[in-house]
Every structure is written in C-alpha cells, then in structure tokens.
Structure 1
C-alpha cells in the first residue's frame, strides 16, 4: 500500500506564481541558470541553483552557496513572495502541452515506502549528484522540487480529481514555453481522508523522473531520524514532496543519441556491419523518426536511414527487450565501441523535445552519426521496475516537466 499524505504547503502568492515557477534545477548548466536568474529575479531557480548569486569563481558546492539558498527562502517567505497554508492539504496539478493535459495529485510520499520497495525505481543514482541535493534540502529545511511519481490509473481517483477541477483554480497561468499550469487545493477533511484511503489500496508507485531528488530526500530523512531518536514516524522529514500521476495520462518522448565518429570504420564498412542485425533502408533527406518499436532512425552523411531490428535481436526480457538496449547491445557497443554510455565522451543524448532537426544540427557541428529512437512506454518502465531491474541510462524523457517553486514541503 502507498502512504500518501497531505502537507502544509509553502507556495508563491497568486500574483507572482508565474514568475516563481521554474523548470527543474538539473535541466540547466551554470551559465544557463545564471542567464535565467539575471532575467527573472523572482524565478525559483535563484534558490534552486543558489550559485547563480555568486561570481563564477565561487565553487557551486561552497557552504555559502547552500546558506544563501536557505536565507533567500526565508526572505521570500517573510516578504510575501511565498505564503504558507494554514492546514494540511492535497493539491491537484494540471499541465497542458500542445493541447494535451496530464493531472496529478501533489502530496508527500513516505521514505519508508521508498526503502521497502513500495515506491519502485528503474535507474541508479550517482553519489555526487545526490550530495548536492542532500545539502540543499538539509540546509534549507525544505524539499523544493517534487518527485514525479506514476501509478496504475484508478477510476475512483480519476473521478474525484475531475470533480475537484470544476472549482476555481488556485493558479492558472501559461509559462513562457507555452505550457499551461493549473492548481487546485483540496483541504476539506472528508476528501483528504478519501484520497489517503484510495492510495492505501494502491500496491506500488513508480519514480518516473527525479531519482536523485528522491534518493537525496530519503537520505536527509534517515539522517534526521538518527538525530531524533525519539521520533514518532510522523515528522515531516519522514516524507518527501511528490506529484502522483495516473499512468494513462503520461507521455514519454524518445531520448535520442548522437556519436562523435564511426569508430574507425568507413561508411561502407559501417553499413555492412549494421546489416548483420538490422534491415537497413534509405529514408531520404527528410528527418526520420521511427513509428514502431524495434525501429530506429539513422542520420549519416546528410542522409536518413530506417533501421529495423531483426528477430534475433529482440527479447522478452524487460530490459534487454527495450529499444535503447537493442541499440546499445547490438550497435553502439559492438560496432561503435561505446562500452559504457554513462561515461563515454564520444556519445551524447538529446531529449525528444528538441526534435529531429537537433540531431542533424549536431552532426553538422561536432558529431558524425545520430540515432532517433521510438519512445520507451510507461508499461515498459513499470515492467522493468516490477522485475527489480534497472533501465539503461537515458531511456526516458518525460514532458511536460514539473515546475519547481510552486509547492514547497518544509521539514520543520
């Protein structure tokens, strides 16, 4: 059963919500983050990436950086940029991109559910990325970026959510990227109890996006348990900020690949090796994105090709059968020499939101060959997590991205 709790939210005032709401901290490098904050002093990125408040020669992991984040959060709560609701509540969060919407419930999930496997994972985390968010959460006493969780859709929750969306929203704005955001608050005790009961009937939730944020929040919770030996299990640090979406509303975009060279092969040699495991057909000059599982687009020498994996390469194994695995295990590794895509500098990954033209652009600038992918499905993600397995790196790209700064969970 999934323990999903209401919480006393810190959130932006209605007039400034659009300015405060920011894309996740990890979609930017330092220079990009500085550009965003310079153009919008109310962007939550000022707090989420507090190194933007310092000269470039100050290390992003300097103690002063995290202290700055904590001080700015306190200042924004004091000056009215943020308000804190006086009761614990759930929130409904709707995002609409290109006319397509998805609606989730903002709540706090249990760190014990994470530790005992009720909250299921599908990728590993890197310690250095965890350490940054651990320090950010611990120093600010706040979780500021929600973890994107999915669950198998349940009609009783869908009906409740749709009924509550008939009320006037707390927030209703369209961000600069064209994505619309609406938020409703659910604070009446009967509905709050009903939501909690509905989730107690759900056997598992799944991390769709935010593995590092989740791991960091849990480690801060464990640390505070040790510091509070008489804890009751109900303290705020026992839970982490999340938005839970039904699986049938989610869209995963492809995560495409570009490679720097052909590993010493000529064009003829490369295509010959490809033909051993794939059926290769020319697709012309127009950008080609695959329309079915087991197919791949290949861009090389200003020409697009369609690759179709032969039956021998396909597998019923939840990980080996993924398109990203078929490409890695039968092409990127053995033919192009990309043994570990997590650390190999010859490969780069491009989220599907950037489009196929970005693949062509990269091949003109600094890469040689590009691969367009068919997106991993949410069902495949669930199957991998249910089997206790891990996906290859860069298997999924979720859109639209949840905004940070709209919902803050204080740990004290």
Structure 2
C-alpha cells in the first residue's frame, strides 16, 4: 500500500505519518553498512570528510547526497538500483530506529513518510531561517533523483500512554532487522513494522501532536517547494522523517560554528575597537571553550593564527543600532542574532553567501579549516532547547544554522523513492 492509498484509510489533523516501502542497501552487495552510510550532507566536512567517505566504499551514500551534479546523482542512483545494490522493501513499513553510545540508548524514534503541511497550519514548527542557495541546491537534487535520501529529525512530546511511543518500545524489545556500528562508536539498530494494526495505532496517536524541526530545515523547505511544484499531489506531498518523543529521549543541542575564510584574524580583531571587549584566552581549544561557556551574556570565541580571543560585553548603543527590533527580547539576545546582525553585517561586513561563510558543526574542524585558509573561526555556545521551542511556538525563527540537534540519524539506512510510489 502506498502512502497515498494509506491516506484513504487514516486521516489525521496533526502529524500524519504513513508507512512506505523503503529503498535500502541490499544485504551482501556492499562490504558493510557502516562503510556506505554517512552523516547528514551538511555535517560532512568538505573536502576531507567527503573524500574519506567516498573512498570507504564505492557505494557510499555521500556520492548521492553530495554529488558533482544532480544529474550525476541520478545516474549513480539508477546504476546502483539496476545492479541490485539498492533494493525496495517488499512491504510498506514504519521503521523503528535506535542509536546507542557506550551501550546506553540515547535515541529511539519512528521513521515514516510525513505529510508536508504549509507553514500556516503550524503542525511542523521550524525554528531557523534557511539559505536560499542551499534550498535551491537541494531542490535540484530532489528533482533529479526523486528520492528522499535522508530523514529529517523532528521532535515531539508524547503522552505516558502514547501508542506511537509504545510501538517503538515494544518493537525495540525484539532482535533488530539491521544493526551496525559507525566509526564514531555509535551503534545503530533498525526494525521494520509491517503490522497494519500497529501502524494505524501509531499514526492515530501522532495525530494529536505537532513537531519541532530539530534538524533538516533546508530539506523541509526543499520538500515544500517541490510539493508546490507538483500541486501537492502524491507522492510529493510527503517526505521522510524520524520522529523522536523527547519526553522519553531528550535531544542534545549543540552549536554550529562559523569560518570566515576571507577575514584574517588580525583584521577581525582590528575592527572590533569599541564594539566588544576583547581578551586573549590561553588554549588548548577545550580550555578556551570552557572559558566561553563560563562567560555570562553575549560572547564568542575567535580562533585563528594559533590564538584564541574572547569577545563579550558588546556596546549597547551598537546593539540598539544593528539588532532589528520588533522581535522578542529572547531573540534579540541570541548569540547568533548578535553575530549576524552586529558582527558579520555591521562590523566585519562579511557577506553571508557561498564562499563568504562556512558552517561547521565541530569546533576543532572549524579551527583547523580557519588555520588552513588563513581565516577566522567564530565559535559559539549552544542555545537552550526551551528557548528554541518558545520562539518556534511564537512563530519566530532564529538565524540560520543557530543550533545542531542530535544525535542525527545516519544517512543511507532508510531512503524513500518517490518514483516507486508513482508507479
């Protein structure tokens, strides 16, 4: 049964999750699943991390999510399917997905095909702005391949007797259909749920909820664009998601750092006179980051040319002049807001466009890239989850790449072919 046919049986007012026939790597056709999976496309450090994944296995999913061109991705996908490397599951299913670190379950959730809802419905809440060029890039890839390669990470707050959460826990009590451990030490387990009664119970329970986009704003915006291009017709009216009940499995929130390749550290510091208090901080990186974490108020850590500097106590008059009004005070105080509105736009005049700013999830990788390019890394602190949710519920989005929720699902374990559903 396709998700479109499923709609005729189960209608929901909130989250509308449907089973689907997943596209997956065929057992025995690759050396191992750990060799062909990848972090999400925007977490892969380029070029070194991408190159490492490409050489891990000739069929690594990174060749599809970060291809030289959308047409190349489409040709590669077709070739892999014809060769039997990627195959479609025989029955529609929801998929229970678990991640463990050091033997402890850190996340469990449910993967399915979620109905795309217009922003006005307020069923799925974004919390960050998006970059138009990234949405255009992802849209070109989706048009060419007609495949959801990566599940978006969405969070919701379930009830004590939630049937969806109960299905996840009951399913995880049996042996998994798929298991692997990736290079970062994270253990991944996956189960298929093909029982129609269990699927319907979970779907009906989710209808009482709305969700926060924890990770995947650009992919969500991309899918909304393609949905509109296809007149909201199936299968373009749904996308692939992992729904996590954060009442049971709270997500971790981390910062996303900036690298400014065209701004040398000396120039960055020289332009700060009177704008911020600037102090030299002794390394190594871990010690410097602890110093940043312990600093009250707005603060950033600048790295480059082998040194660290802490920026704090911004000039109040400068903030009044540069940070837009008409937004909640919690938004105006965000480090990311001050960084973009005051530092990047007004003080440093760094254009937020490809090549002007790089966004990296790992602080050490950001420092390494800044050192290699002769630029400046701006390291940030994570935003509290309750701040993120409070702003999202008010319909206020944070600056792009303000947060990194995790753990993120591995890319390549479960994919959704829209072309299969059109047949």
2:88 & 2:229 partners in 1: Cα distance? 26
Pick closer, same or farther for the CA change 1:372–1:89 going to 2, 3 Å.
same
Is the CA contact (8 Å cut-off) linking 2:275 and 2:315 kept in structure 1? Answer: no
Q: SS where residue 383 of structure 1 aligns?
A: helix
Q: How does 1:244-323 map to 2 (within 5 A)?
A: 244-247=243-246, 249-259=250-260, 260-261=263-264, 270=272, 273-275=275-277, 283-286=281-284, 287-289=287-289, 290-291=292-293, 294=297, 296-299=299-302, 302=306, 304-309=308-313, 317-323=329-335
Structure 2 residue 329 is matched with structure 1 residue 325: no
Q: SS where residue 25 of structure 1 aligns?
A: coil
2:282 & 2:373 partners in 1: Cα distance? 22
Match of 1:389 in 2: 396
Match of 1:56 in 2: none
Q: Could you tell me the TM-score, scaled by structure 1's length?
A: 0.78
Match of 1:236 in 2: 235
Pick closer, same or farther for the CA change 1:330–1:162 going to 2, 3 Å.
same
Pick closer, same or farther for the CA change 1:100–1:337 going to 2, 3 Å.
farther
Structure 2 residue 11 is matched with structure 1 residue 2: no
Match of 2:6 in 1: none
Q: Deviations over 1:306-346 (max 9, x none)?
A: 55547967995242122222344454444x42365x23866
Pick closer, same or farther for the CA change 1:257–1:161 going to 2, 3 Å.
same
Is the CA contact (8 Å cut-off) linking 1:172 and 1:182 kept in structure 2? Answer: yes
1:122 & 1:144 partners in 2: Cα distance? 22
Range 301-310 or range 96-105, more displaced: 301-310
Q: SS where residue 183 of structure 2 aligns?
A: coil
Q: Could you tell me the TM-score, scaled by structure 2's length?
A: 0.76
Structure 2 residue 241 is matched with structure 1 residue 224: no
Is the CA contact (8 Å cut-off) linking 2:276 and 2:314 kept in structure 1? Answer: no
- Could you list the runs of 5+ residues in structure 2 that have no partner in the other structure? 1-13, 321-326
Pick closer, same or farther for the CA change 1:69–1:25 going to 2, 3 Å.
farther
Pick closer, same or farther for the CA change 1:143–1:114 going to 2, 3 Å.
farther
Q: SS where residue 242 of structure 1 aligns?
A: strand
Is the CA contact (8 Å cut-off) linking 1:144 and 1:404 kept in structure 2? Answer: yes
Match of 1:36 in 2: 53
2:159 & 2:355 partners in 1: Cα distance? 43
1:215 & 1:344 partners in 2: Cα distance? 18
1:48 & 1:362 partners in 2: Cα distance? 22
Is the CA contact (8 Å cut-off) linking 2:151 and 2:411 kept in structure 1? Answer: yes
1:284 & 1:100 partners in 2: Cα distance? 36
Is the CA contact (8 Å cut-off) linking 1:48 and 1:69 kept in structure 2? Answer: no
Pick closer, same or farther for the CA change 1:274–1:107 going to 2, 3 Å.
same
Match of 2:88 in 1: 84
Following superposition, the deviation at residue 250 of structure 1 comes to 1.0
Structure 2 residue 389 is matched with structure 1 residue 373: no
Pick closer, same or farther for the CA change 1:128–1:249 going to 2, 3 Å.
same
Match of 1:12 in 2: 25
From 119, 124, 127, give the equivalent of 1:122. 127
Pick closer, same or farther for the CA change 1:365–1:50 going to 2, 3 Å.
closer
Match of 1:133 in 2: 138
Match of 1:54 in 2: none
Is the CA contact (8 Å cut-off) linking 1:5 and 1:109 kept in structure 2? Answer: yes
Is the CA contact (8 Å cut-off) linking 1:24 and 1:401 kept in structure 2? Answer: yes
RMSD: 3.5
2:312 & 2:117 partners in 1: Cα distance? 43
Structure 2 residue 360 is matched with structure 1 residue 350: yes
Pick closer, same or farther for the CA change 1:5–1:140 going to 2, 3 Å.
same
Give the number of aligned pairs.
381
Q: How does 1:47-58 map to 2 (within 5 A)?
A: 47-51=64-68
